[in-house]
Amino acid sequence: MTTMWQGCLAHTDYFETRSSRGHDYGVWVTTPPGYDPAEAQAPVVYVLDGNWAVGLTAPLIVTQLDPMQSIQPYVQVSVGYAGEEAEHWERLRNRDLVPPGEPIAKEYVDAVEMGVGTGRMTREQADAYLAELSDSRGDAFLDFLTDDLHPRIARDYGTAPAGHGLFGYSYGGLFGLYAWLTRGTFFESIGAGSPGIVSEDSQVFTRLHAMGDTLPATRLHLTFNDRELLGDIPVYQNLARNAATFLHRLTSHNGSVTSALLNETHVTGLQASFLSYLRTCRAR
């Protein structure tokens, strides 16, 4: 990284990589202060939406030195998009973070149309944004994280063989639930912030029902925001209500699940949700 960026994101490397399916990604790797894998290896915490999230989450790696509540060491790997695609991350995340077959809720389409009406996006941008949802491939992106990217991180940064985590917010939170229900053995803990369960027919409900009474051993921490639930924006109301419904359906199962209601909006909740995940799932 350049000197300027190194000053903002200390102990952070950046590289670009291509998935086995031909998609390009930008990857930021933030190591713990004084990290020496020869002395002690740290597990990885994967953070989604790197183009947005890295600046809000990577600096929190200093919590590993907090004398009042120390966090277990981890190497943070923030995954986003590279090159010209980086400016289209909001659209491309629909392809990567949404489970295959996820229904597109009317409230979500209405929110996109409202963006066109207020001038926040053009008609061309809105159409491209919704088109990615029609062929969402969260399964392929999960394979990329675990099968393509992780072996490189483990090799280049000498990370621990187990104890890994995953954090995602909004559609990243939906992806976190999908990963929890699909490949729970890879991650030791998953943080799902304000998961984008916009439709009550979401794939996560279908998969949860199919699992029966036994939940994954992976620890799940789910957060959502009171201002989503109490506000007047339908897409956020649906999101919060469905997240609460998902939690309620877990009460009859055996599993390691925690949750928190945060005093944030959907936009401001990312950093608070990540910190809640660290404090709950990764405290010493």
Number of Cβ within 10 Å of residue 51's Cβ equals 21
Tell me the whole-structure pTM to 2 decimals: 0.92
Which range has the worst mean pLDDT, 76-85, 118-127, 132-141, 268-277?
118-127
What are the tens digits of pLDDT across the range 45-80?
A: 999 999 999 999 999 999 998 899 889 999 999 999
With cut-offs at 50, 70 and 90, classify the pLDDT of residue 254. low
The whole-chain average pLDDT of the chain stands at: 90
pLDDT for residue 166? 98
Contacting residues for 117 by C-beta, under 8 A, at least 6 apart: none
In a 13 Å sphere around the CA of 269, the CA atoms on its Cβ side amount to: 30
Pick the CATH number of 14-281 from 3.40.50.620, 2.70.70.10, 3.40.50.300, 3.40.50.1820: 3.40.50.1820
Domain boundaries, the chain: 14-281
